[in-house]
Amino acid sequence: MSDAAIDAVDHAALKSADTETLRAAIRAGRYRRHTAGLATGRLQANLAIMPERVALDFFRYCQRNPKPCPLVGVTDTGDPRLLTLGSDLDIRTDAPAYDVFENGERVATVPDIRELWRDDLVGFAIGCSFTFEHALEEAGVAMRHVAMDATVPMFRTTLETVPAGPFGGGMVVSMRPIAERDLARTVEICRRYPLAHGAPVHVGDPAAIGIADVSAPDWGDPVPVRSGEVPVFWACGVTPQNAVRRARLPLFIAHSPGAMLVTDVDERAEVPVLDT
């Protein structure tokens, strides 16, 4: 089916849609863009899909690096369902877009991975920053990149992750400017969300974690830090993606940046498991 033949819907049209409607549009290939602000209140997740051969080491990598890699779900080998995150969730079709990597290089971006699915694949779902951003906004701490309609700025750092098997490398962080008077409660609120990167990993001087120019991010858009504000840095879900690319697996599949898997789990749930 060509793009032109798809009865596409846009972000604005889906803003008030419930999770089921949103998922149906995504599954049908009718929505292929970012999920920020959609299905508000539901846990969204990064996806990392790889052969079982390296899955135990990737599990270890996430366990040892819980701030950049907060695991919220994992499939059985060869089974595309994430039963603890949704009764009808299929990781082959339910993210709006997927990036496909071979030997660490992106070779394609596709709307679903039905034709790429294999019996030896394992899918991991990793928590994302949308959860704590909502919590901060509800507490009156504004997110400037949201107000700017921009992508949060992300940076490589000199903070090293704890390695496991072929996985390792530097931590990637996201930056949000926070008013000095809001710092303490920002940290306190975020600490309540261990499945969404938790408390910041660094507050203040960017150079202390190897960032030469806080106005020149490695990914995302520049966001200004104003007088009376401090740059605050959170562990970022790009970290595991970089770790996997660095391992140069023959095949690795991720969601496309910002186009997350929307789950049925309440983003404020104590644990990422549907009531059974």
Q: Which positions lie near a second copy, rule CB under 8 A?
A: 52, 55-56, 59-60, 63-67, 71, 73-74, 76-77, 83-84, 122, 160, 162, 164-165, 191-192, 194, 198-199, 270-273, 276
| 171 vs 124: CA distance, rounded Å | 19
For residues 254 and 101, the answer to whether their CB atoms sit within 8 Å is yes
Question: Which residue, 65 or 256, is less far from a second copy as judged by CB?
Answer: 65
| Single-letter amino acid code for the residue at 202 | H
Q: How far is the CB of 76 from a second copy (least distance, A)?
A: 7
Question: Which residue, 18 or 160, is less far from a second copy as judged by CB?
Answer: 160
Question: Which residue, 15 or 191, is less far from a second copy as judged by CB?
Answer: 191
| 111 vs 33: CA distance, rounded Å | 10
Q: How far is the CB of 73 from a second copy (least distance, A)?
A: 7
Question: Which residue, 9 or 55, is less far from a second copy as judged by CB?
Answer: 55
Q: How far is the CB of 114 from a second copy (least distance, A)?
A: 23
Collapsing DSSP to helix, strand or coil, 52 comes out as helix
Q: How far is the CB of 165 from a second copy (least distance, A)?
A: 8
| 263 vs 142: CA distance, rounded Å | 25
| 37 vs 58: CA distance, rounded Å | 29
| DSSP letter, residue 251 | -
Q: How far is the CB of 201 from a second copy (least distance, A)?
A: 10
Question: Which residue, 29 or 68, is less far from a second copy as judged by CB?
Answer: 68
Q: How far is the CB of 117 from a second copy (least distance, A)?
A: 19
Question: Which residue, 9 or 135, is less far from a second copy as judged by CB?
Answer: 135
Burial bucket for residue 45 (CB in 10 Å: 0-12, 13-18, 19+): buried
For residues 261 and 204, the answer to whether their CB atoms sit within 8 Å is no
Expressed in angstroms, the distance from the first to the final Cα of the chain is 38
